A and B are shown apart, each in its own frame.
Chain A
Amino acid sequence: MSQSEEEKQIIESLLAGNELTFKQIFNQHYSLMYSVAQSIAGGAIADEVIQEAWVSALRALPKFEGRSSLKSWLIRIVANEAKTRRRKEARNVSLEAMQENWATDPRFDERAHWSNPSSQWHGDTPEDLLLADELQDCLKKNLAKLPENQRVALQMRDAGGLSMDELCNILEVSPSNIRVLLHRARDKVLQVIDHFQKTGEC
């Protein structure tokens, strides 16, 4: 994969010390960097992690070869930095355990058909749904409870738009395992929204 012209210019501009470019790139990648830092190290030190990551990134930038996109390079640095600061008790559920939970998911009957399907939702766009502050809080709370590997995969893919290849590389997980992580995480989000739709409560 070769580096795009646009990205080359951005990097040259950063190396030349262009402050405007730095601001733009900082702003552009902040939300994903934050999500990833928060997913791994927790919200309380997410900004510290981002700071450390940027300091490392700026130091390493002259050696950046463009084998990945700038974004995926930055996210890898954040993820690594966050891992060194990770809370000791980080909960990582094994793939086997995830498969087992799925195998016994009570929403399905013994023929693996829906016995307890999700309800019809009133709001049908993310914008509609997030109008409810309670749901926003509820989602954040439940994201925090997800196993770390699911949460990070979800943020990188659905919030960050990183490709499946990039996810496999950064997380060092096989494509089939990434698919499991993503499905379980999305399924959890769906269940949280569904519960909120039915009860108006978290």
Chain B
Amino acid sequence: MLPTCKQVAEQLSEEIDQPLTGFKKFKLKLHLLMCVYCRRYGEQLNISSKTIDLLAAKNKPNEELREKLLSHFRECHQHPEPRSDSNSDSDKSNPS
């Protein structure tokens, strides 16, 4: 029995994450060979997934936040650039 379109729709999403194997894959391919709607759905599902990626990539880093955190980061590392042999008093030394 070949999978139904509805089952194929779910399998096509699985394929994006982890390709099917064996007989299951074979039956999927056979269905796709015969079904233009599922072929189209598979392509569109891939495009949809990539569109989400592209959309998220448009979130540009908030510079104000970065500067705020950078000064926090600086405070966390109060002691200035490890200069010559000035050993920090903490037991954890930071190799530069």
Contact = CB atoms under 8 A, between A and B. Distances in A.
Interface of A: 12, 15-17, 19, 22-23, 26-27, 30-32, 34-35, 47, 50-51, 54-55, 58, 62, 102, 105, 108, 111-114, 117-118, 120-121, 124-127, 129-130, 136, 139-140, 154-155, 157-161, 164, 179-180, 182-183, 186-187, 189-190, 193-194
Given A130-B51, A164-B18, A118 B44 contact: yes
Given A118-B41, A129-B47, A154 B13 contact: no
A186 B45 contact: yes
A26 B61 contact: yes
Nearest to B38: A114
Nearest to A28: B61
Nearest to B76: A58
B59 interface: yes
Contacts of A50: 62, 65
Contact of A15 (B44, B47, B62, B94): B94
B89 interface: no
Given A30-B62, A114-B5, A126-B51, A17 B73 contact: yes
Contact of A34 (B44, B59, B66, B69): B59
Contacts of B54: 126-127, 130
B4 A51 contact: no
Contacts of A155: 52, 56
Instruction: Report whether over half of chain A's contact residues are helix, strand or loop; otherwise say mixed.
Output: helix
Interface in B10-29: 10, 13-14, 16-18
B96 interface: yes
B74 A31 contact: no
A149 B77 CA distance: 37
Contacts of B72: 54-55, 58
B56 to A, nearest CB: 3
Contact of B5 (A112, A159, A179, A187): A112
18 contacts: A12-B94, A19-B73, A22-B73, A26-B61, A27-B61, A35-B59, A51-B65, A105-B6, A108-B5, A114-B5, A126-B53, A127-B54, A136-B58, A164-B17, A179-B13, A186-B49, A190-B45, A193-B48
B70 A22 contact: yes
A126 B47 contact: yes
